[in-house]
Structure 1
Amino acid sequence: MAPPRLAGRSLLEFLITLLIGLAPVACGLLVLALQVERKQEETAEVSVVEAIYAIDRVFDAMHGSSNAVLGLVGQPCEKILPTLRQEALRQPSVRSLVLTRENRAYCSTLLGSIDTAIDPGSYFNQRLRLDSRNEITPDMPVLHYRLQEYPMGVIAISDARSLQTELQGFKNAIVLALQFGSDFVWATGSGSAKQVPNHEENSQRMVSEKYGYTAHAGYPDGHTRKMLSQAMASTAPSLLLVGIITSAVAYWGLFRQRRKPA
């Protein structure tokens, strides 16, 4: 039976060796956690920038169609309707074009001659409006883009699906949402802020300089923990091997050499 002093010394040597071996493992896990967190932040930052770029292109197309027919405003609807419909067909993202005069819509590519009041205050930034209560597609909101050179104006109308299609192109479990005032659109739906899928982790936001809407990007709760667990599962064996080798080398260098007879 080993004397108490020798047993205590052996225990101390074991603890010191264990701590030395755990040091690279702990450092490796810390670096891994920081890398996972930083990667998600960078992905969210890049995604929100790319989302702004993609959605701006959708609005650029709507603006182009509106601007192309702005010169027709004021002419009789029956006379210009064929040209108006032809322009609407040129741009796939545009469902219809509506001509307005003194804030009253009077000609539509879908309905022909109309007489409907337009409320500028219902448009975000006087330009954009998300309509979730339309009669034509009640299950899909429509987006209105308003080009105004008072008293003349044009409204380009598109399905919100055109925005959702762009958002669905982003992977890596990133959640993207577009905000138009109090209304939101995301890859699988639309609604109020309370209905937007959770994206609190590594959240980023950016305002479009061209059109004023806001793009939000982030990950749902628990995503970082999930990614860290996956990363640890793949790197833990390597870190443990490094720890064992470090412990063995430390033990040999610190203690075994001292026990050799002179």
Structure 2
Amino acid sequence: MPLSVKRRARLSWRTLLPWVVGVLPVACGLAVMNWQIEREMQASSQATARQVVEHVERILDNLSSAANALLPLADSPCDEAQLMLRAQVTRNAFVRSTNLFRHNALYCTSLFGAFDEPVNPGDYIDGKLWLMDGNSVTPGHPLLVYRASDGDRGAISTVDGDHLLTALRLIGPDEDLHIRVGDAWLGKDGIVHKGLPPAAASANVLLGSTRYPFSVQGGYGADRQGQLWRSHYPALFALLLVLGAVAALVCRWQVRRANSPRAELRRALEADEFLPYFQPVVRKGDYRWAGAEVLMRWNHPREGLVRPDLFIPYAEHSGQIVAMTRALMMHTAQNLAPYAGLLEDGFHIGINITADHCRDFSLLDDCRTFLQHFPPGRVVLTLELTERKLIEATPVTLELFEKLDAMGVKIALDDFGTGQSSLNYLRQFKVDYLKIDQSFVAMIGGDALSLHILETIIELSAKLGLGIVAEGVETEAQRDYLARHEVDFQQGYLFARPMPAAQFLEALAARPAASRLPQAAPPEIMRG
């Protein structure tokens, strides 16, 4: 917003806002990158754990195949079975040794032949798998043992823990990986531990085998996330800093430009800088001008013509919109009243109002004063309700609308279909017209959902007996579509753009109704 008042800088929200705006994209970007890194780490950890599970399952397939092949020999004498035991060790790459047991005692091994050592079925998870911390041959060296049994006899095959360590170290060199069997687990240190393995600092996963009673736990150390930051995202982080700095500078420029808006609006109102612009509304059928919407424009002495979206929202927020609208209505009446002969009877003049206008009865006086400038019946004043502020159905508001209706003032819901209270307004207040928001009109010939909404609004207006106005008509296809659907009035650039009062009156004079122009009002006066 243009400014004219300069004040000494002080610590306030205007001072802090550029910093917040500058930090916000950096913080959001960092959050997104952090989320992406965590997601990648989680996916990588999951994939690595799956690969280790599959590799260990292949090892156990070898052990299972060897043990089940030897199971029928479990009651055979050792000297007859020893050759088959050694044959299984030779044929299976992962099998370190094979053994036979009966009556829960090991009696024959591929290494020593006849042997005598007790076998405890309780050592085996699900009676099949045991992660050992070494045996009598290699104490302290991990072994994974597979047991196949038929009653109290069976076969046992083992795999050296080095094969498991190879899987852990080669498949996941950067991850913390553990193979867990029951309450025993093996990590990359090659030592069998008891209890639960420690959870990884980040991206911790636990994946169990669906075929054998073991699981793999994986994840990353606390420093892994920082390593990925340094290796993958330095350029993107630098870009975020640049974007944050640019956003902060732009915000600071906007804040400085918008300094003291209340004082600037008050100055502009006192200087009579808010002017009416008129955008014609055409009726269906012959597309003759049936009225016009009055739009507020700010003719700033330095900035020139200021768009309404730059000052109307703050004027509503600050409560200054009431005085500005009153001045706008007075300007409109003074501009049009001398040339009322150019207007057809019942010519609609639409003016926007907000919740601030409905808090007392001063709006009645403003409307009465406006209508007194014209011959009776010549002008129909239409107040267009906007939803930037909620209009509450208080006793004062309800009485106000009743008196406006008795005065002949019409009520229209502006931008119908986009706000949150349009249907409530229909239920609470007596409404005469619905104005379809231009976003729905723009979708004619395109978005099917918006067309359904548009058709529903048209059907709703017909069922409620309300007039309907379509805003933002810019193409003939839109015009014809609305005409086919019996829309009462249309408004948009296809028919005319918003124009100042002099140009609007000249356009009225040039239309067929120009013959009604009073002799005392030549075109030279209008152009002046």
Contact 1:197–1:220 (Cα < 8 Å) also in 2: no
Assess, with a 3 A threshold, how the Cα gap between structure 1 residues 10 and 184 changes in structure 2: closer, same or farther: closer
Alignment correspondent of 2:133: 132
Counterpart code for 2:89: A
Deviates more, 1:72-81 or 1:120-129: 72-81
Deviates more, 1:82-91 or 1:198-207: 198-207
Counterpart code for 2:245: I
Assess, with a 3 A threshold, how the Cα gap between structure 1 residues 168 and 16 changes in structure 2: closer, same or farther: same
Alignment correspondent of 1:161: 162
Alignment correspondent of 2:243: 242
3-state DSSP of counterpart to 1:24: helix
Residue by residue over 1:97-148, the C-alpha shift from the partner in whole angstroms, topping out at 9 and shown as x without a partner, is 0011222222111000112221111222211122214232224222211011
Assess, with a 3 A threshold, how the Cα gap between structure 1 residues 200 and 13 changes in structure 2: closer, same or farther: closer
Deviates more, 1:146-155 or 1:223-232: 223-232
Spell out the pairing of 1:92-131 with structure 2 (5 A cutoff): 92-131=93-132
Assess, with a 3 A threshold, how the Cα gap between structure 1 residues 229 and 257 changes in structure 2: closer, same or farther: same
Give, in angstroms, the shift of residue 14 of structure 1. 5.6
Alignment correspondent of 2:71: 70
Residue by residue over 1:29-53, the C-alpha shift from the partner in whole angstroms, topping out at 9 and shown as x without a partner, is 1111111222222222222222222
Contact 1:190–1:196 (Cα < 8 Å) also in 2: no
Contact 1:29–1:232 (Cα < 8 Å) also in 2: no
Deviates more, 1:104-113 or 1:233-242: 233-242
Give, in angstroms, the shift of residue 260 of structure 1. 9.7
Contact 1:97–1:154 (Cα < 8 Å) also in 2: yes
3-state DSSP of counterpart to 2:76: coil
Assess, with a 3 A threshold, how the Cα gap between structure 1 residues 10 and 187 changes in structure 2: closer, same or farther: closer
- What is the TM-score when the length of structure 1 is the normalising length? 0.85
3-state DSSP of counterpart to 2:70: helix
| Count, aligned residues | 259
**Percent of pairs with identical residues:** 26
Is 1:88 the counterpart of 2:129? The answer is no
CA–CA distance in structure 1, aligned partners of residues 223 and 77 of structure 2? 59
Contact 2:125–2:181 (Cα < 8 Å) also in 1: yes
Q: Which runs of 5+ in 2 are unaligned?
A: 1-5, 260-299, 304-528
Contact 2:204–2:220 (Cα < 8 Å) also in 1: yes
CA–CA distance in structure 2, aligned partners of residues 17 and 114 of structure 1? 83
Assess, with a 3 A threshold, how the Cα gap between structure 1 residues 240 and 200 changes in structure 2: closer, same or farther: closer
Contact 1:51–1:167 (Cα < 8 Å) also in 2: yes
Counterpart code for 1:106: Y
Alignment correspondent of 1:183: 184
Give, in angstroms, the shift of residue 252 of structure 1. 4.9
Assess, with a 3 A threshold, how the Cα gap between structure 1 residues 225 and 260 changes in structure 2: closer, same or farther: farther
Alignment correspondent of 1:201: 202
Assess, with a 3 A threshold, how the Cα gap between structure 1 residues 10 and 154 changes in structure 2: closer, same or farther: closer
Counterpart code for 2:141: M
- What is the TM-score when the length of structure 2 is the normalising length? 0.44
Alignment correspondent of 1:217: 218
Give 1 or 2 for the bigger CA radius of gyration.
2
Counterpart code for 1:208: S
Give, in angstroms, the shift of residue 155 of structure 1. 0.3
Among 268, 287, 302, the alignment partner of 1:261 is 302
Contact 1:185–1:191 (Cα < 8 Å) also in 2: yes
CA–CA distance in structure 1, aligned partners of residues 53 and 148 of structure 2? 20
Q: Which runs of 5+ in 1 are unaligned?
A: none
